[in-house]
Structures are given as structure tokens and as C-alpha cells.
């Protein structure tokens, strides 16, 4: 009989507040601002990670919007391209929100590592 049972590690003490910042950051601009305020009083690694992901996602959204102004003048091909880009943005947002809900520090595909690199010192 094996009497050695692996010790279970307790969850971090600030896990609830940590996930709150991560989740709020994905919920509208107001949620992002509230998440920054909460994060500023108690900085956490998970919160900072998702705040960086969201700020990158927001700036990418602005770039897609500016590109949409140009591509919107191209019938059919421009419109389809914009639809694909906006659906990709929606997919990235959902993936980020799911990672935040699960308390994971999982970067968004393709652009997530870039966001962490570009905004690496932000929110620390």
C-alpha cells in the first residue's frame, strides 16, 4: 500500500481578484478601465497578462477599422476581406475571454506573443 499521497497545492490567495481583472478587461472599454483601476491597487501576473492582450486587441481593432475605411470602397472583395477580419477579431476576443475565465495565461494565436513583447512592461 502506498501511503505517500501527493500534496495538493492550494490555489493562490488572490485567485478571485486575479481572474476578475482578467475577465473584466475583455468586457467593453468601461470594463477595461475598471480592470486597470482594480489592477493598480493589487497587481497580479494574470491580470497584467490579459490587460496587455486586450490593449493589443483594441489597437488591432482600430487598425482593422482604419483599413475598413479604405477597403470599404472596394466592392465585394473589400467587403469580404473586412468581414473576415472582423470575424477573426471576434474569434480572438472569444479565445482571450475563455482563457481569462479559466484563469490561464494563454496568448492569443499569432498576435498574442507580439502583444506580450510590445507591451511587456505595461501594467507591471
Q: List the grid coordinates of 56.
A: 493589443
Q: How many CB atoms lie within 10 A of CB 76?
A: 7
pLDDT in tens, 21-68: 889 999 989 999 999 998 888 888 888 899 999 999 999 999 999 988
Residues in the chain: 124
Cα(30)–Cα(38) distance, integer angstroms: 12
- pLDDT tens-digit readout, 66-120: 988 888 888 888 889 999 999 999 999 999 999 999 988 899 999 989 988 998 8
Q: Is a pLDDT exceeding 80 seen at residue 14?
A: no
Asked if 14 and 44 count as a contact pair (C-beta separation under 8 A), the reply is yes
Residues 6+ apart with CB under 8 A from 68: 82, 85, 86
Amino acid at each position: 500500500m502506498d501511503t505517500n499521497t501527493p500534496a495538493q497545492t492550494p490555489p493562490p490567495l488572490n485567485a478571485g481578484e486575479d481572474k476578475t481583472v482578467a475577465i473584466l478587461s475583455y468586457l467593453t472599454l468601461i470594463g477595461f478601465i475598471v480592470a486597470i483601476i482594480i489592477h493598480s491597487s493589487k497587481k497580479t501576473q494574470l491580470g497584467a497578462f490579459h490587460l496587455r492582450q486586450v490593449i493589443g486587441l483594441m489597437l488591432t481593432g482600430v487598425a482593422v477599422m482604419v483599413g475598413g475605411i479604405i477597403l470599404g470602397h472596394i466592392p465585394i472583395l473589400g467587403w469580404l476581406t473586412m468581414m473576415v477580419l472582423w470575424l477573426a477579431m471576434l474569434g480572438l476576443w472569444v479565445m482571450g475571454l475563455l482563457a481569462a475565465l479559466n484563469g490561464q495565461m494563454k496568448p492569443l494565436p499569432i498576435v498574442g506573443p507580439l502583444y506580450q513583447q510590445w507591451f511587456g512592461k505595461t501594467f507591471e
